[in-house]
Amino acid sequence: MKKTLKVLDLFAGGGGFSTGFLQVNQNQPDYKFEITKAVEIDPAACDTLRGHLGVDKVIQGDITCSSVKEEIYKSCADIDVIIGGPPCQTFSLAGPARSGTKEMREKLKNDPRNTLYKHFFEIVDKLEPDFVVFENVEGMLSKKVEEVGLKGKQVQVIELICDELGSKGYTTNIENSILDRFQVLNAADFGVPQHRKRIIIIANRLGLDNPNIKPTHGGKRVPYNTVKAIRHLPLRLPEISLPKNLKNIDVLKSNYKKILELFMKKIGDLAINEADADNKLRLEKLYQRLNVEFVSIVGKRNYKIQGLKRFLNLYNELIIEYGINNFEEDQLLTNHQSRVHNFRDVIIFIETKPGSNSSRFMNTKSDDYNELLDYLYPYDKSKHKDTYVKHCWDKPSNTILAHMEKDGLKFIHPDQPRTLTPYEAQLLQSFPNDYVFHGGRNDQYRQIGNAVPPKLAAVIGESILETKKLKKMIKEDKSELKEYAQV
């Protein structure tokens, strides 16, 4: 019978850590992980956790509240492993902590979420599990604070966290290393179709060095998994809007014929390349109906915006009429729906080369320079140049971010004129095909973007079991030696 290691998942989010640890059970003959409790404050994320772990496994509440802590202590007294990644807003490499206004940076500096890791360690101190896994963003490496009692001396937060664990009796040392106490792991190196670097601290109370987790993919190893992980999914077309106050709408107007030709060519190419016979027929019908409208308006010199609105209204009606985005045949694809995009962005999506971005299409010295896109770009070029990023099939995705709930412009589909759907994002995070995220689209993006990729979590879980097995072997060897000595 397998020995069970009980796990407490703090700041559980949408369940990436828990999912990965449970996946380890399929390949381990001697041990298995059991999620005793998952603690999370976000209601939608809690609904997701309940759907996969069970209602009785989830504690919904603020970890800083004494009542929540008491519930944790009561239900997790015999816990073996605590896992979690306390949110630390000012550590993010992508957030306004690095690029926002001075006022925003000050606000973030005083954000109470930056001290949540203290509550994490309070719980560790109380429950004393054999293992602790601490996960956080790579930006934490640059975070320093003034050392207590030494005015002006700065120390790294990550070192303080390792020291804190050491003071509680935990070993953070890594095997075959004299100095290292934490690891920076890239999810792509472990089979996740996404570049995602995270700090991982594994600590144990068994008196052993922690495993040095070695990459399995990339370089001369197994090739990286890439964005092709979502290539099998059915085509999705976005609803398209044309807001009255759309920035750079005059560029659309002055390039009226060209942009309509680009759009029609994209619909035609999608029809030609569509593998599914039924959807191919739908796309061909869409192209034919739109082409009639295109011919009737493209040569007009006046009322161009009115003509464009009529064209887009017809397009929006037809994708519904022809059922191009239907998912009734597979309920797992419920979250595989595109958000609404404005027409300016759709043209940018179409014209940006796969694997390229706005920084390159605005650079006159780049092979990707595109004059139309340069004119269409709606943001401040002195501050933001990489707003649009188009992925390509043969490389891993960029880091999936919770910021996808805002606009998703850094996650443009390689072929289709839209950004990634929540379902595509979850597959690039290595969540199982049948994993269901609850809440609205923004809730889903946030949960997925904040998650630990399950495949990476599984590697961490396996390393813990290797340490556990090593401790068992050492214990058995000592027992045999003792018996031999007595003889």
Q: Where are the beta strands (DSSP E) in 64-143?
A: 81-84, 131-137
Q: Give the integer Cα–Cα distance in Å for 408 and 425.
A: 10
- Please report how many Cα atoms fall inside a 13 Å half-sphere around the Cα of residue 310, on the Cβ side: 14
Q: Give the integer Cα–Cα distance in Å for 277 and 367.
A: 36
Residue given tokens 């650079």 in the structure block? 363
Going by their DSSP bridges, the two strands 3-10 and 197-204 should be labelled as: unpaired
Q: Give the integer Cα–Cα distance in Å for 83 and 201.
A: 10
Using alpha carbons, select from 342, 438, 298 the residue that is nearest to residue 13: 438
Q: Which two tokens stand for residue 45?
A: 């994320």
Q: Which two tokens stand for residue 212?
A: 């040095």
Collapsing DSSP states into helix, strand and coil, what is residue 364?
coil
Q: Where are the beta strands (DSSP E) in 214-331?
A: 240-241
Q: Give the integer Cα–Cα distance in Å for 340 and 306.
A: 20
| 117 dihedral zone (left: phi>0; alpha: psi -120 to 50; beta) | alpha
Q: Give the integer Cα–Cα distance in Å for 440 and 463.
A: 35
Collapsing DSSP states into helix, strand and coil, what is residue 389?
strand
In angstroms, the Cα distances linking 93 to 1, 154, 156 are 45, 20, 16
Using alpha carbons, select from 326, 330, 325 the residue that is nearest to residue 436: 330
217 in Cβ contact with 190 (< 8 Å): yes
171 in Cβ contact with 207 (< 8 Å): yes
Q: Which two tokens stand for residue 289?
A: 């109906």
255 in Cβ contact with 372 (< 8 Å): yes
Q: Give the integer Cα–Cα distance in Å for 26 and 462.
A: 11
Options 46, 65, 76, 88, the catalytic residue = 88
412 in Cβ contact with 349 (< 8 Å): yes
64 in Cβ contact with 118 (< 8 Å): no
For residues 465-482, one letter each, b for 16 or more C-beta atoms within 10 angstroms of the residue's C-beta and e for the rest, the string is bebbeeeeeeeeeeeeee
Q: Which two tokens stand for residue 402?
A: 């919770």
113 in Cβ contact with 99 (< 8 Å): no
Is 88 a known active-site residue? yes
Annotated active-site positions, please? 88
